[in-house]
Amino acid sequence: MSIIIDCHGHYTTAPKALENWRNQQIAGIKDPAVSPKVADLQISDDELRESIEANQLKLMKQRGSDLTIFSPRASFMAHHIGDFSVSSTWAAICNELCYRVSQLFPDHFIPAAMLPQSPGVDPKTCIPELEKCVEQYGNVGINLNPDPSGGHWNSPPLSDRHWYPIYEKMVEYDIPAMIHVSTSCNACFHTTGAHYLNADTTAFMQCLTSDLFKDFPTLRFLIPHGGGAVPYHWGRFRGLAQELKKPLLKDHLLNNIYFDTCVYHQPGIDLLTRVIPVDNILFASEMIGAVRGIDPETGHYYDDTKRYIEASTILSGSDRHKVYEANARRVFPRLDAALKKKGK
C-alpha cells in the first residue's frame, strides 16, 4: 500500500490576518509610518488548525492523499513587490506559518520554503533563510522563482552562474527545488493560466540549451503543472536538443528534472504518462489552488488528480507506486529520512 504523497501544496487558506498584514506591509513601502511590525501579526494555533482542518486536510481525507509537501501560497510570494528587506520579512513570516502547520499536523504536512528573492538582488541573499528553513524547520525542498520580476523576465536564465550560490546549497543539503513563479504583473500574462505555464516551459528550455547538470550532477528540479507545454511538445524538445548537438534528453535532463501531475483532465494525464518516463513523474494536486471548480464533463473536481492516476490504463500497479510514493522519496531525500524516522 503506497503512501500518497502530494508534492505540490500551497498554504492558500491561511487566516485572513496574514493577507491583512501583507497589505499593510505593501502600504508601508510608500508610507513607512504605516509599516507593520512582525509582532503585529498574531495567528494562534487554533486559527491555523481551523484553516487546515476545514480545507486542505478535509480534502486530503476525502480524496485519499496522506502527506503534502507544503509551501507558502505561490501567488503571495510576489517577489517583485518592494525590496529585499520586504521580501525577506515576508518570506520569514510565510515559512514560519508552514512550519507551524507541519508541527500541528506532522503526519500530513511537511514544509518546503519560499525564498526572499528580489529582482536584481544577488541570490546569495536568500541563503540565510534557506539554511534556517532546512536546519530549524526541517524543510525538505524549496520553491525557486526563475522570474522574480513577475512576468518581465529580467533575471539571467537558470543555467547562469547567477544562480549557482542557491544550487551549491541545494546540493549541500540534498534538496530539490520546485521551479515556481509567482503573481504576474505583466498584463499580457494571466498568472495561473499563462505565466505559470510559460515559466514551466521556459525553465525546461533554459536547462536544455545549457550544460547546467554537468556542473551540478545531483541538482534536482521539479517542474510543476505537468511541465507546462513540455510533454505536449516532447518531439520538438527532443529535436531541438539534437539540433543543438546535446545528448538525448533521457541523458541530458531526465536524471535531474521531474514533473508533477497538476494536470486537470484525464487526456492530459494520459499524455504526460505516455511521454514522460514514469520515474520522472511525482503525484501532486496543487490543492487548494488555481482551479477549484467541478468539471461538468465528469462531475468531479478538476484538481482531484488522484482520480486520473487511478483511472489510467497506461500505468501499472508498480508505476502508480512510483508516482504516489517512491519517486517523491527519491527526489526529496529529506522527506524519505523523515518518513523512515517514523517507521514508514
Name the residues annotated as catalytic: 286
Residue with cell 541523458: 251
Provide the angle, in degrees to the nearest 10, between the axes of the packed helices 127-135 and 164-173. Answer: 10
Q: Which amino acid is at 181?
A: V
Q: Which amino acid is at 189?
A: F
Q: In what order do the strands lie in the sheet with 257-260?
A: 113-114, 142-144, 177-179, 221-223, 257-260, 281-282
- Residue 201 near residue 229, CB atoms below 8 Å: yes
Cα–Cα nearest to 81, from 134, 2, 6, 28: 28
Question: In sequence order, which residues have a C-beta less than 8 Å from that of residue 194 and are 6 or more positions away?
Answer: 184, 188
Cell numbers placing 270: 494520459
Buried residues in 53-89 as b, exposed as e (16+ CB within 10 A) = eebbbebbeebebbbbbbbbbbbbbbbbbbebebbbb
| DSSP string covering 132-163 | HHHHTT----EEE-S-TTSSS--SPPTTSGGG
- Residue 230 near residue 273, CB atoms below 8 Å: no
DSSP 229: T
Cα–Cα nearest to 75, from 193, 177, 159, 188: 193
